[in-house]
Amino acid sequence: MTKITDSIRWLLNSGRGNEIFFKGVTTLILAAGSVLILIPFLYMISTSLKDPAQIRSDSTSLIPRKPKTIEVNGKNEPLYQVTYNGETQEFALIKKIPNGFGQFVDPAAPNEIIELKLKEQRALYRLDIHWENYPEAVTAMPFWRYLGNTLVVTFVGMFGMLFSSSLVAYGFSRFRAKWLNVLFLLLLSTIMLPSQVRLIPVYILFNKLGWVNTLLPLIIPQFFANAYDVFLLRQFFMTIPLELDDAAKIDGANPLQVLMYIILPQARPALVSIGIFHFLYAWNDFYEPLIFLHSRENWTLAVGLQTFDAIYTINTHLIMAVSVLMIVPPILLFFFAQKIFTQGVVFSGIKG
């Protein structure tokens, strides 16, 4: 005994003990926090695999399950693990009676009724996973249509953003012109600008053009660059040595060719990074699709799922199934490009 306390005292007195102690506590807090983060995910997945009855009666279980039953006198009765006569046995519950007791029978001898306290017995469950929720969910709403719209908005918009932002960032990073600095400051000043202050006239403009209730209002503005992505790309372009441009120019390349064959290949990490962030933005965006898309066949997944929930909120299992489908692409993307995420934040957040 003294040996243990001695060694603990030694650990605490030496710096090493402190370090081990701190690391242990840190790991413990992180593990507890991770559980809090992960439980909602597990709840989402498990709810998507339950049927409505399971959701109603067994909502807190993170495993989709049903009570085990057994046929007793021609009726299906729930099976319990009970302690009876000092032995653990599997009995069927045939009737709940007042004061928290239940009438149990041994399925092998169904005529002898045994009264036991319900709370002390353990209900037995079997796994009951409803994979069919997924095919049902994607047919209950025009899922593929929504997905198609979302992909068009996301990827055509991404192309437009990359295309225009590259041109503009190139203009701001490689040329000298009288008003260029003023324009760049103007560009930066729009980063903090709340979109609400311009959204209403933009809506009216698109309405006049007949574009409201088409995907165009979500796509076309992407072709005119945006402050955030231009700024990131420009910062990256500035790190590419000018000698490369000069070498290409001596070989007779015009500015557009320098951009295409020298700058863009060098800037691939930055392009991938802003592309990924654009994907997440467009995939999750709800505000603009809600405003611009009015009819069912034009909705994106975000608006389609929300509307389905507003009308059929009772179908929790189907809504959670589509929710799972909706978070899978961002999560996959995250795992494939984890480095880019953390670097991208560094690069956009504070180091810039």
Q: Is 187 in the site for other proteins (CB under 8 A)?
A: yes
CA geometry: angle at 152 spanning 323 and 189, to 5°? 90
Q: Is 176 in the site for other proteins (CB under 8 A)?
A: yes
Please identify, using beta-carbon distances, which residue of 34 and 139 lies nearer to other proteins: 34
User: CA-to-CA distance for 243 and 259, rounded, in angstroms?
Assistant: 14
Q: Which among 20-28, 90-98, 106-114, 131-139 is the span making contact with other proteins, rule CB under 8 A?
A: 20-28
Half-sphere exposure of 44 (CA within 13 A, CB side): 15
- Segment 105 to 164, residues that bind other proteins, using CB under 8 A: 164
- Segment 279 to 298, residues that bind other proteins, using CB under 8 A: 280, 284-287, 290-291
3-state secondary structure of 104: strand
Please identify, using beta-carbon distances, which residue of 108 and 350 lies nearer to other proteins: 350
Q: Is 80 in the site for other proteins (CB under 8 A)?
A: no
User: Which two tokens mark 114?
Assistant: 């045994």
User: CA-to-CA distance for 247 and 202, rounded, in angstroms?
Assistant: 44
Question: Nearest approach, Cβ of 192 to other proteins (angstroms)?
Answer: 6
Question: Nearest approach, Cβ of 52 to other proteins (angstroms)?
Answer: 10
Among residues 279, 286, 315, 331, which one has the least CA distance to residue 138? 315
Please identify, using beta-carbon distances, which residue of 43 and 159 lies nearer to other proteins: 43
Q: Which among 42-50, 77-85, 95-103, 242-250 is the span making contact with other proteins, rule CB under 8 A?
A: 42-50
Q: Is 326 in the site for other proteins (CB under 8 A)?
A: yes
CB–CB of 133/110 below 8 Å? no
Q: Is 60 in the site for other proteins (CB under 8 A)?
A: yes
Question: Nearest approach, Cβ of 26 to other proteins (angstroms)?
Answer: 5
CB–CB of 256/298 below 8 Å? no
Q: Which of 12, 209, 254, 297 binds other proteins (CB under 8 A)?
A: 254
Question: Nearest approach, Cβ of 83 to other proteins (angstroms)?
Answer: 22
Q: Which residue has the tokens 């509307």?
A: 307
Please identify, using beta-carbon distances, which residue of 22 and 131 lies nearer to other proteins: 22
User: Which two tokens mark 126?
Assistant: 């079997």
Name the DSSP class of 62: S
CA-CA distances (angstroms) from residue 141 to 137, 255, 309? 7, 49, 11
Q: Is 238 in the site for other proteins (CB under 8 A)?
A: no
Question: Nearest approach, Cβ of 193 to other proteins (angstroms)?
Answer: 7
> Strand pairing partners for 113?
105
Q: Is 34 in the site for other proteins (CB under 8 A)?
A: yes
Q: Is 200 in the site for other proteins (CB under 8 A)?
A: yes
Which residues, in sequence order, are CB contacts of 277 under 8 Å at separation 6+? 344
3-state secondary structure of 309: helix
Q: Is 100 in the site for other proteins (CB under 8 A)?
A: no
